[in-house]
Structure 1
């Protein structure tokens, strides 16, 4: 795994090798600028004839293998020749760029185009999921010739859509040779055949995604509505053994043998409850604000019903419509079991914050709820002392400041969520001094000037008679996760009025020296 200081780790790998004779757009963990067939594309230095690969320092480059022996003068001359060549073949360049247009999705964060009111490009995330390597029990056993029909609910509408496919964690290429998009009936696997559309990638019907790569489809004319269920059907000719998945979809998905991407109902399908190889769906909706919520299972929705859309982010998306407020896209980037500081289940939040939150098209607001697993795993382990508890609290606070600073540097409003009680949890069994740590964290979160707003989730769901515990009506039964009523209460705690007029605070001060921000 690359360290977070490596510039390419600040945003996801983007490119794909398309299954056609058209442009190739590949990238690993950082972009390389390459000249091929008269078009400038982002790609892998190893696959291109003339490339500059990303170097270890921000904003600097090192020569790729084909230029490694060249001196500066030779490179300058080559650049001049390349410029002249591009001018002479302007028409060819335009044609080639049109073919690779679909691979533009994960541009470096500073080029995302987000503003305080939405994306300057017009594209806005309407659905998304954070991906991880699934446990063996959740991974698909198939290695190819399989159709995945995946159902998602859009949080916002627009005039066109585009889909993000991902092989982020793959150990082998992902090969898709057919992909369709259509309205869906949630929980049934049936699609509206009259509105079935074929997805294309750089003009081709399929693509080949190298390990670590992500690609975006060509824009598809598709009038989409907020709250609409849609189905993405992919025929995978080759599926890596190590897949990229969101395990807890809380929605029924379908897997069937053969190429059935265009069938209204899959024959011989089995059901799963995870999303695979897809990280986002965007809509064309200029000016649409995008809120990305990130955290652990409390954001991912443990305790929510199957196919019921009962995570707190689902209730928040519905709240904006029922209260007559301006449209707001709400993206859930939670991962159950996630921590801020350690790689336990999924990458730690500090490591994935750029990719899973700030790189979402059109992002304007980030709501962060994290820390219960960090605290809980310490006091269920063997290393808990007064000193280690104090150190953990300090590191969590530094992590919050670091994320707020990253968000503000991108013009994104940052909302901190207070940590909800788990006093009766049999998983973490907190003692009184552990509860004191949670209360200290919440007191700091409520008053830290680095945040643009606070969502007081703790105040919304705690039991007034026993504030170290969830209100019984909001308890899923394990005294840690919430019931659907509890998730509805969380959605009500998000201060939408503050968000509507939010202007990001100045960048947060740097973390205190000597504090290691990320455990590996």
Structure 2
């Protein structure tokens, strides 16, 4: 073979897709699925002793493709070290089922060991696993608890079924007789390895982001619908989105979970690959102010000022990490029986939204209020988008929210 021919062949190989695919890369981590952790209360908590010696299987769905993964376990609200005997990962047969594909079963390890002891207040990453995965794969993570946690760490609003069965069933293909519930425990994130530079959107919010009213096991929260839009557009297919919503969440005070400012670091700023955060918080602050009794005008003004101060804090802290902040306007809730808002509450909402829409605060704005309100009664949700409580969207409403977000904010068309 002549030197010219050899040189030409070398050039063609260098440009070929096969050569490009074979080229080595340094994988980078991006959070592909996450859930905000809190202390479960009431019916959201498991009875004492439920987890000790038991197997818990939980279904999660990444929003991005990858070449490998690792899970993050959390003992954030534990008061003592938590001992996990073992963990496995497998492809789930389908959403809403505890059955897995046995051929896909992988034993997870932690520092090379089958089990792990997670200190109180800490998270712990599993060792990386080389496993090609696709966006929207249903993955089953199964944990065996060596002991009952001293202080449960949970995400109550999973909208996804989990299964609990006494004994060690880490490798079982199914869990007949298991107790089923819609909560996640101990499992806080799935991190995905990718050759491309990581780019992540974190949705920080309350029950509207968490998906109250979404269909169990159907993945139809607004973040799920938006994830499908991202993956359908070649320009945004490299973006992941994770849902860090907590039902009842407020900017300023704890409710069913920790307030937004107190969880900003854990839920947003430390997530691998985060480039944007979409903030939809505030309706519970406005509603709670007068839920039990009226307050004077000064208290209404103080609430608005403090909410704006909280937004400023989120923006400043995110910008300090090079993260862009997208503000979501607060949606209507007139007619809600729990908060029974009046004209003053509506004035507070309008004042907050005016500030959100003003240039110079957020890097961009998504006007959920405009997209979801009834044009004939702007202080109410459009009936077609209303779950029925005049506060939370229906699945159709969540789709409308997802459609209202311009892909161009994140480099799409």
C-alpha distance in structure 1 between counterparts of 2:150 and 2:120, whole Å: 11
Shift of the alpha carbon at 1:472? 0.4
Q: Cα offset for 1:136?
A: 3.3
Alignment of 1:106-125 (within 5 A): 122-125=28-31
For residues 314-350 of structure 1, the C-alpha deviation after alignment (integer angstroms, 9 at most, x for no partner) is 0000011234432211100000001000011111101
Quote the offset at 1:121 in angstroms: 6.5
Q: 1:462 is matched with which residue: 358, 364, 373?
A: 373
Write the distance in 1 (CA, Å) between the matches of 2:217 and 2:235.
26
Residue by residue over 1:461-499, the C-alpha shift from the partner in whole angstroms, topping out at 9 and shown as x without a partner, is: 100000000000000010000001111111112222022
Question: Pairwise mapping of residues 219-234 of structure 1 onto structure 2 (< 5 A)?
Answer: 219-234=128-143
Q: Tell whether the 8 Å contact from 2:235 to 2:411 is kept in structure 1 after alignment.
A: no
- Structure 2 residue corresponding to 1:290, chosen from 193, 196, 200: 200
After superposing the two structures, state which structure 1 stretch, 318-327 or 142-151, moved more: 318-327
In the alignment, which of 478, 486, 498 is matched to residue 409 of structure 2? Answer: 498
Tell me, what secondary structure is at the counterpart of 2:144?
A: strand
Query: Does the alignment pair 1:206 with 2:112?
Result: no
Q: Report the alpha carbon displacement of residue 239 of structure 1 after superposing the two structures with TM.
A: 2.3
1:443 maps onto 2:354 in alignment: yes
Give the structure 2 partner of residue 144 of structure 1.
52
After superposition, the C-alpha distances for 1:384-420 in whole angstroms (9 at most, x for unaligned) are 1100100110010011011001111111110000000
Give the match's secondary structure for 1:144. Answer: coil
Q: Structure 2: how far apart are the matches of 1:451 and 1:121? A: 32
Q: Cα offset for 1:133?
A: 0.5
TM superposition shift of 1:452: 0.9
Query: Contact conserved, 1:150 with 1:233, CA < 8 A, in 2?
Result: yes
1:426 aligns with 2:337: yes
Q: Is 1:191–1:231's contact at 8 Å kept on the other side of the alignment? A: yes
Q: Provide the C-alpha distance between the structure 1 equivalents of 2:284 and 2:182, rounded to a whole number of angstroms.
A: 23
Distance 2:233 2:193 in 1: 23
1:136 & 1:175 partners in 2: Cα distance? 24
1:173 aligns with 2:84: no
Residues 207-253 of structure 1 deviation map (CA, whole Å, 9 limit, x = unaligned): 11121121000000111100111010000011214210000100111
Q: Deviations along 1:497-516, whole A, 9 cap, x unmatched?
A: 02228xxxxxxxxxxxxxxx
1:453, 1:495 within 8 Å by CA — same for their partners in 2?
A: no
Greater relative CO, 1 or 2 (CA 8 Å, sep 6+): 2
Q: Distance in 2 between matches of 1:254 and 1:407?
A: 36
* Structure 2 residue 70 is the aligned partner of structure 1 residue 159: no
Q: Structure 1 residue aligned with 2:232, among 310, 319, 322?
A: 322
| Paired position in structure 2 for 1:27 | none
Structure 2 unaligned residues grouped into runs of 5+: 1-25
Out of 190, 207, 222, the position equivalent to 1:312 is: 222
- What secondary structure sits across from 1:179 in the alignment? strand
Query: What's the CA shift string for 1:107-129, capped at 9, x where partnerless?
Result: xxxxxxxxxxxxx9610000000
1:363 aligns with one of 270, 274, 283: 274
Determine the structure 2 residue equivalent to 1:281: 190
C-alpha distance in 2, partners of 1:409/1:387? 33
String of CA shifts for 1:140-181, please: whole Å, max 9, x gaps: 231411000000111111000000001100123211111100
Aligned to 1:37: none
Equivalent residue for 1:332?
A: 243
Map Cα deviations across residues 258-292 of structure 1 (whole Å, 9 max, x no partner). Answer: 11011110242110100000110011013131100
Query: How far 1:311 moved relative to its partner?
Result: 0.6
**Helix, strand or coil at the partner of 1:186:** coil
Matched, 1:372 2:283: yes
Matched residues in 2 for 1:225 and 1:283: separation? 10
Give the match for residue 347 of structure 1: 258
The separation in 2 between residues aligned to 1:344 and 1:203, in whole angstroms, is 39
Structure 1 gap segments, 5+ residues each: 1-119, 502-520
Aligned mate of 2:213, from 288, 300, 303 = 303
Equivalent position of 1:127 in the other structure: 33
Give the TM-score of the pair, scaled to structure 2: 0.90
